[in-house]
Amino acid sequence: QLQLVESGGGSVQAGGSLRLSCVASEYTYSAYTMAWFRQAPGKEREGVASLRPNGTSKYTADSVRGRFTVSQDNAKNTIYLQMNNLKPDDTAMYYCAGRLGLYYGLLAPSMFSYWGQGTQVTVSS
């Protein structure tokens, strides 16, 4: 089974930047749809960004578009989330997720089978 490990979270002032990494236990580029989710206290888990197999498409949620960028290093089996111009509302636990296949549906947690443990991002005003 696919194993995922996130890192790169931390505390930052509003307007700052962080780069999250997700290291996968196997090659995901040609077989998996990968995604980033986040969950703030008292709120449900929401989709942030996704990558589809073979780099066919990328997606970012309206709330982060223009500030966050998802990318990957195929040789390292690593997916990244570059977060710029961070806002206090971005404070959340960020999770890396994956599923087999080229998935074009809504970015819902129930559609993803493999999850990392999460990395905390805290943005102060």
Residues of the chain predicted below pLDDT 70 = none
In the prediction, which pLDDT does 99 show?
93
Beta strands in the chain (DSSP E): 4-7, 10-13, 18-24, 32-39, 46-51, 58-60, 68-73, 78-83, 92-100, 114-115, 119-124
In the prediction, which pLDDT does 55 show?
75
- Cα-flanking dihedrals φ and ψ of residue 108, to 5°? -110, 140
Strands 10-13 and 119-124, sheet pairing? parallel
* Tokens found for residue 98: 């994956």
SS3 10: strand
In the prediction, which pLDDT does 30 show?
82
β-pair partners for 83: 18, 68
Q: What is the DSSP letter of 65?
A: B
- The amino acid that residue 19 corresponds to is R
- Cα-flanking dihedrals φ and ψ of residue 53, to 5°? -50, 145
- Cα-flanking dihedrals φ and ψ of residue 54, to 5°? 65, 20
How far apart are alpha carbons 109 and 125 in whole angstroms? 29
How far apart are alpha carbons 17 and 86 in whole angstroms? 6
- 20-54: per-residue pLDDT in tens? 999 999 887 788 999 999 999 999 999 999 998 87
In the prediction, which pLDDT does 31 show?
87
